[in-house]
Amino acid sequence: MATTITSFYPDTLERMVRAVEKVKERVRRASAALESAGIPYAVAGGNAVAAWVVQVDEAAERTTQDVDILVRRADLPEIVRCLCASGFVHRHSAGIDFFVEPGDKFRHGVHLLFAGEKVRPEYVLPAADVTESEQGARFRVLSLEALVRMKLTSFRSKDQTHLDDLVRVGLIDAGWITRFPAELGSRLQQVLNAFEPDPDNLDEEASADPD
């Protein structure tokens, strides 16, 4: 049943900003805990996409609710120890290990992906390894090629949106198709075929219009 909204909160803008900052803080806290414990990891998912997108265009960043972090399964006991010591609560449900702030829901958590394992049995390829990553200013993030490969492998609607974001800022294009197995290359072609480019420069376009 749809929720009916009759009025907006007076602090709506503050709530919007706070929601984004909470996600960023979870990324920072989880990454700092893993690094301090010497546990190899890489930020994946929507936050990794955002980290790459802002290298080209800060205004093109898309917000996300959860945090996906790639780790090695052998490190799970130590991961549980260090993240719980940082204030997270460990949960395991439907085959997924995740961490939440006390009282938070799954979608607001830190979700673990295991390197070299398929997220779902039907996936074409397993997840990347943590070595396929680069050190950013605040945390390690999946390399662009590993990130694109994982997005093409899962290829849900939000993955397609993230791929579209990477195309939009010029980080990937048709030249990437041959980097992947045929099925994944076909999926990238599908994204490229559906891509609708923005005007290159609205200000220049407007100034070129006759009076």
Residue 125 φ then ψ, to 5°: -130, 155
For the residues 157-177, what does the mean pLDDT come to?
96
3-state SS of the chain is CCCCCCCCCCCHHHHHHHHHHHHHHHHHHHHHHHHHCCCCCEEEHHHHHHHHHCCCCHHHCCCCCCEEEEECHHHHHHHHHHHHHCCCEEEEECCEEEEECCCCCHHHCEEEEECCCCCCCCCCCCCCCCCCEEECCCCEEECHHHHHHHHHHHCCHHHHHHHHHHHHCCCCCHHHHHHCCHHHHHHHHHHHHHCCCCCCCHHHHHHHCCC
CATH no. for 19-198: 3.30.460.40
Residue with the larger pLDDT of the pair 15 and 72? 72
**Candidate from 13-22, 80-89, 166-175 with smallest mean pLDDT:** 13-22
Average pLDDT, the chain: 88
For 40-77, the pLDDT digits (tens) are 999 999 999 999 999 999 888 887 878 999 999 999 99
Which band of pLDDT confidence, cut at 50, 70 and 90, is reported for residue 2? low
The domains of the chain are located at: 19-198
